[in-house]
Amino acid sequence: MQEFGFKSSVKIIDTHTHIYLKEFDADRNEVIRRAKASGIEALLLPNVDVTTLAPLFNLCDTEPGFVFPMMGLHPTSVDASYVSQLSQVEKALSLRRYCGIGEIGIDLYWDRHHLPEQKIVFEEQLQWSRVLQLPVSIHVRNAFAEVFDSIYKVGTNCLRGVFHCFGGTMEELEEIRQLPRFKLGVNGIVTFKKSPLPEVLRQAGLEMLLLETDAPYLAPSPYRGKRNEPSFLWETAGKIASIFETDLDNALETIKKSTLKIFDIQHISF
């Protein structure tokens, strides 16, 4: 950890990273080397759509025991022709073992034209989670009410997972509190100077948090604006420890316990 200014005896897990994407094609091995050298012991890889299946699987075959795949169809890849994509993603569920269903959800930031299709796809994938007893990694943007409507429709007692890239409002936090089997994914946004997230996280409590990068997106300060990578996760971890006024090891032990409660990667073999 010395290379990044943090010292901890606790290794950490990046619960949401896309290092199989083309942004890492030129130096992926070096990015993985830095992640391991920094003290990261596992990377969880949510799928995007049918175009990312091959690179996702290739990386899993190259780094078994270090990277763990999820399977899902991202909401921004959903359009009127969603049936074919969803079918192909569902078939991929039988190809190997996964640590979760993701990245799934509803995104109305760009437009609302495909909300009906997004809800159908999201609820179908929530059903996969229920049947396979796998956690979900939920993407929600400008669609909190719609996401919760679908979760309650499928059934809160049979779902668990994480709200990826948690946005930070108290109202959202209070709703998520009603789902005791769900956690908050915290990434580089919490390190941004004007982010309101720290105060919301204090109210959530350390036990409710998981660490993620969403690499190559949302790099933390002081790397903001650059390509994100898993080794930068230590900046987020350090910020969380400072928010709760505790030492880094204590914060990471708590977060790791929560992570393994949601994502049972210890029992996955390939």
pLDDT of residue 8: 86
Summary count for the chain: helices (H), strands (E): 9, 8
- 78 vs 7: CA distance, rounded Å: 42
In the chain, the DSSP E strands lie at 12-14, 40-45, 67-71, 100-107, 136-141, 161-163, 182-186, 209-211
pLDDT interval class at 1 (50, 70, 90)? very low
pLDDT of residue 167: 87
- 14 vs 223: CA distance, rounded Å: 17
- 131 vs 92: CA distance, rounded Å: 15
- Asked if pLDDT for residue 2 goes beyond 50, the answer is no
- 217 vs 229: CA distance, rounded Å: 8
Residue-wise pLDDT tens digits, 174-194 = 999 999 899 999 999 999 999
Residue-wise pLDDT tens digits, 75-98 = 999 999 899 999 999 999 999 999
pLDDT of residue 168: 77
Q: Which residues contact 42 (CB under 8 A, 6 or more apart)?
A: 13, 14, 66, 67, 68, 265
Residue-wise pLDDT tens digits, 91-123 = 999 999 999 999 999 999 988 999 999 999 999
Give how far the C-alpha of residue 245 lies from the chain's centroid of Cα atoms, to the nearest Å.
Answer: 25
Q: Mean pLDDT of all residues in the chain?
A: 94
Give how far the C-alpha of residue 68 lies from the chain's centroid of Cα atoms, to the nearest Å.
Answer: 12
- Asked if pLDDT for residue 270 goes beyond 70, the answer is no
Sheet containing strand 136-141, strands side by side: 12-14, 40-45, 67-71, 100-107, 136-141, 161-163, 182-186, 209-211
- Asked if pLDDT for residue 251 goes beyond 70, the answer is yes
| Percentage of the chain exceeding pLDDT 90 | 90
Q: Which comes out higher in pLDDT, residue 254 or 5?
A: 254
What global pTM score does this model have? 0.95
pLDDT of residue 202: 96
